[in-house]
Amino acid sequence: MPLQAIRIGSLGIAAIPFEVFTETGLEIKSRCPLADSFTIELANGSYGYLPTPQQHLLGGYETWLGTNKVEIEASTKIVERLMQMFAQLTD
């Protein structure tokens, strides 16, 4: 799936093709090496919900097969990949 990390001055923008949970957006914001950041969801496609592993434990509509089309650890892997991408932008 397409992921993007964009830098405009000291602003970082993460673009993810999922409906992102608040926890994921806040983690990206807190870990981004740039001064400010935000996440754009449903960017470059729509692959359904992106629940966190913790949300999978709780269950709910967003974790059901069909509304969620990726593995349980997908949000963690996506955040890690975005952090690698942001690191390349700050070198």
Q: Please say whether the beta carbons of 27 and 80 come within 8 A.
A: no
Six-digit token string for 76: 């963690």
> Residue 58 is part of which domain span?
4-90
The DSSP element (H or E) to which 19 belongs, if any, is: strand 19-20
CA 47/CA 78 separation, integer angstroms: 13
CA 91/CA 28 separation, integer angstroms: 18
Task: Please report the pLDDT score of residue 17 as a whole number.
Answer: 98
Task: Please report the pLDDT score of residue 44 as a whole number.
Answer: 95
CA 33/CA 11 separation, integer angstroms: 10
Number of domains in the chain: 1
CA 35/CA 91 separation, integer angstroms: 14
Task: Please report the pLDDT score of residue 43 as a whole number.
Answer: 97
Residues of the chain with pLDDT under 70: none
